[in-house]
Amino acid sequence: MFVTCDRQLLCDAVSSVSRAVPGKSTIPALEGILLNASENTLTLSGYDLELGITTKIASENKQSGRIVLNARLFSEMTKHMAGDQVTIQSDEKLLTTIRCGSSEFNILGMDANDFPELPAAGGDQQLEISQKTLKNMIRQTLFATAITDQKPILTGSLFDLKDGFLKIVSIDGFRLALRKEKIAYPDRLKFVVPGKTLSELSKLLADDEEKTLSIQIGPKHIVFVCGAYNVISRLLEGEFLDYDAAIPASSLTTVRVDAKKFTESIERIALLITDRLKSPIRCEFSQNKIALSCSTAIGKAFDELAVELTGEAVSIGFNSRYLTDALKACECEEVKIESSGPLSPMKIVPVSGEDFLFLVLPVRLKNEN
């Protein structure tokens, strides 16, 4: 292989593709990036057997070929080289020379045949969506995916397409996050994408409503075609929780509150809470105010916030982080908070519309039976 390409293009491509490269693997080739030079194009691929990222950049190819280079080392080289053009040349013994400006490196590559083949989606289901819309939907739901793999299906987000709407739902057993958008897709379709995939995909998505991406869905894999990048991922198998059944149908208390002020109030009270000194925050919803309090071995804290309340007064205990995560994900000035009692989930919804819904399970307070 003998190719020449723009250093900055190569640097950006290596940085993005490296997100799918595992730190350590029993397969040495997976710790590298596969370079494939053909027809004045250099294709770069990273793959950890669950997530794969590929991209193509323009190159001048004097000799086609394939080789795997250690991702960490190759990334550092491209970042620190001084010059505009990079030349990569490898021989039949996999000895690879990388030149840029006055810099030259000689490293031993790995056989491209040892790099596993990336899967294709293998299905005929395909949809398109705005990159900005999907990025926002991921950002507002990803925080509620489960971290532990006691229930592997919950480490991903459910994509639920029905009646021309896309819902993305994340549940970790303590909270639920749901985002809904109208989309031009008439069929019924459900699949679960790993949270890691969505996290890495969101970094490649543009904040531009005009730019779209294509999603190809197969029985076991999914491919996101995002500009010059292809993000390939396995789908999680299993039965996702019935999220509709978890959402309370009615409420006894409705509160309209400034989301930012409520978040700031909770964060002030939570200053007394540490990893060692955990305690729920008591939220007392009464006429035109929320009274927040917390007590730990460090001391006590109290704060009040003006609100608009309809219905019954109620006192509820909550994990401060779960509640602030949900409020920050709303990304709007005011929200409605609905509750059916001290042991019922708190539902956070927009003042108008149905774009999002967050549920946070309460924590039983000590003075409750």
Q: Dihedral (C-alpha) 195, 201, 207, 212: value to the nearest 10 degrees?
A: -110
Query: What percent of the chain stands above pLDDT 70?
Result: 99
- 209 falls in which pLDDT band (50, 70, 90)? confident
The residue-averaged pLDDT of 20-42 equals: 94
The verdict on 165 and 223 lying in the same domain is yes
Task: Strand 356-360: give its sheet, edge to edge.
Answer: 189-194, 156-162, 165-171, 175-182, 356-360, 346-350, 334-339, 253-258, 308-311
pLDDT of residue 369: 41
Q: 135: which 2 tokens? A: 């990025």
The verdict on 24 and 77 lying in the same domain is yes
The verdict on 193 and 302 lying in the same domain is no
The verdict on 232 and 291 lying in the same domain is no
Query: What percent of the chain stands above pLDDT 90?
Result: 82
Number of structural domains (the chain) is 3
In a domain, 288, yes or no: yes
In a domain, 345, yes or no: yes
With beta carbons less than 8 A apart as the criterion, state whether 89 and 60 touch: no
For 226-249, the pLDDT digits (tens) are 999 999 999 999 999 999 999 998
pLDDT of residue 298: 87
Which CATH number fits the domain that encloses residue 83? Answer: 3.10.150.10
Q: Among 212, 243, 274, which residue terminates a domain?
A: 243
pLDDT of residue 88: 96
In a domain, 368, yes or no: no
For 45-94, the pLDDT digits (tens) are 999 999 999 999 999 999 999 999 999 999 999 999 888 999 999 999 99
The verdict on 252 and 239 lying in the same domain is no
Q: 305: which 2 tokens? A: 């916030």
Q: 133: which 2 tokens? A: 């819309």
The verdict on 141 and 225 lying in the same domain is yes
Tell me the one-letter amino acid at 20: A
**In what helix (H) or strand (E) does residue 224 lie, and over which residues does it extend?**
strand 221-226
**In what helix (H) or strand (E) does residue 175 lie, and over which residues does it extend?**
strand 175-182
The verdict on 49 and 105 lying in the same domain is yes
Could you tell me the residue range of the domain that residue 66 belongs to? Answer: 2-114
The verdict on 130 and 227 lying in the same domain is yes
In a domain, 97, yes or no: yes
First to last CA, the chain: 73
Q: Among 114, 143, 173, which residue terminates a domain?
A: 114
pLDDT of residue 367: 62
Q: Among 190, 218, 243, which residue terminates a domain?
A: 243
For residue 253, which of 200, 307, 202 has the smallest C-alpha distance?
A: 307
Alpha helices in 206-276 (DSSP H): 243-246, 259-269
In a domain, 365, yes or no: no
Going from the C-alpha of 260 to that of each of 56, 58, 179, 303, the distances in angstroms are: 42, 46, 20, 15
For 301-337, the pLDDT digits (tens) are 999 999 999 999 999 999 999 999 999 999 999 999 9
pLDDT of residue 149: 75
In a domain, 16, yes or no: yes
User: What is the SS3 string spanning 83-146?
Assistant: CCEEEEEECCCCEEEEEECCEEEEEECECHHHCCCCCCCCCCEEEEEEHHHHHHHHHCCHHHCC
Residue 207 makes CB contacts below 8 A (sequence gap 6+) with 131, 132, 135
Residue owning tokens 């991903």: 156
The residue-averaged pLDDT of 34-51 equals: 96
Rounded to 5°, the CA angle 113-53-168 comes to: 140
The verdict on 100 and 184 lying in the same domain is no
- 120 falls in which pLDDT band (50, 70, 90)? confident
In a domain, 68, yes or no: yes
pTM for this structure? 0.92
